[in-house]
Amino acid sequence: MDDKRPESKDSNALIPIVLAILVVGAIAWVFFINPAEKEQIVTTPKPTPTPVITRTPVQSPISTPTPEITPSGKQFLVKLESKRGFTPHTQTIKPGDKIVWENDGTYEFTLVSSDGLFDEKILKNLQRTNYTFMKTGTFSFYLKEEKYLNGTIIVEP
């Protein structure tokens, strides 16, 4: 029986040595691979396709420039009176012309643009206000105190 015991002690001591050799071999295999093979694995780039750049002509839209309207220097007088309203009742002008409204009555009036061209204008006796029309169209005005007294300015091209 004594003979078997020493054999089992020797075989038990052999197992850790074999395991140590396997671990050292695995570490050596991982860290010490053939450097040429390692470079090929790491640095083998795949070719990247080169994009082809082509120019497509872009046509810009052709716009007809709108001529700027400048004041013409022409003035047209429209008188306001409590009994007659606007005189003339309708006035036709061109873009850039100026309308001058004058209170020809004895009472104070408030001139209002139906189209919101300007803020309300309070006009005392013989007081004037004006507006230069830059756009074509038909524009209406009235007296705030007498809404039935109204007038029209037609701006034609």
Residues 90-95: what's their mean pLDDT? 94
Q: Is 96 left (phi over 0), alpha (psi -120 to 50) or beta?
A: left
Quote the tokens at residue 33: 């691979």
Domain residue limits, the chain: 75-155
User: Of 16-25, 47-56, 103-112, 126-135, which one has max mean pLDDT?
Assistant: 126-135
Of the listed ranges 23-37, 91-105, 107-121, the least confidently predicted one is 23-37
Higher-scoring residue by pLDDT: 71, 141: 141
d(CA 97, CA 101): 13
Fold of the 75-155 domain: Immunoglobulin-like (2.60.40)
Q: Quick one: pLDDT at residue 35?
A: 53
| 109 phi/psi in degrees, rounded to 5 | -125, 160
Nearest to 93 by CA among 155, 45, 147, 139: 155
What the block records as the tokens of 44 is 């083998």
Q: For 121-143, what is each residue's pLDDT tens digit?
A: 999 999 999 999 999 999 999 98
